[in-house]
């Protein structure tokens, strides 16, 4: 194991402090804006039907019409939760459809 050292010539303590403060500000900004990518969640047909409180035939019809996009591995069929959430749209007024 070798040890290395860095020698700074003609650098004032104020310059070093300023450098570290700049790095600290950049790290703070990065922490505030950092959003980790959430893993993709997949739902089965049964889970999707239960979540939407509808029948499996409705899920099948939505797939045939192209409203839902199924993904499959072998004989298993899955749906991306994010795809479903992007398809859901508000109904009615901008206040969420509540009556005034």
Domain borders along the chain are: 42-87
Q: Which two tokens stand for residue 89?
A: 């749209």
Cα 85–Cα 66–Cα 94 angle in degrees, nearest 5: 40
pLDDT tens digits for 22-61?
A: 999 999 988 888 878 888 999 999 999 999 999 999 999 9
Q: Where are the beta strands (DSSP E) in 18-69?
A: 42-44
Cα 42 to Cα 79: distance, rounded to the nearest angstrom: 5
pLDDT tens digits for 50-86?
A: 999 999 999 999 999 999 999 999 999 999 999 998 8
């Amino acid at each position: 194991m070798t040890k290395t050292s860095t020698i700074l010539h003609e650098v004032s303590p104020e310059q070093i402090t300023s450098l570290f403060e700049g790095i600290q500000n950049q790290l703070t900004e990065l922490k505030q804006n950092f959003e980790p990518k959430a893993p993709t969640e997949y739902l089965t047909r049964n889970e999707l039907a239960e979540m939407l409180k509808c029948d499996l035939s409705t899920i099948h019809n939505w797939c045939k019409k192209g409203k839902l996009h199924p993904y499959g591995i072998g004989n298993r069929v899955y749906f991306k939760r994010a795809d479903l959430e992007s398809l859901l749209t508000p109904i009615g007024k901008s206040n969420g459809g509540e009556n005034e």
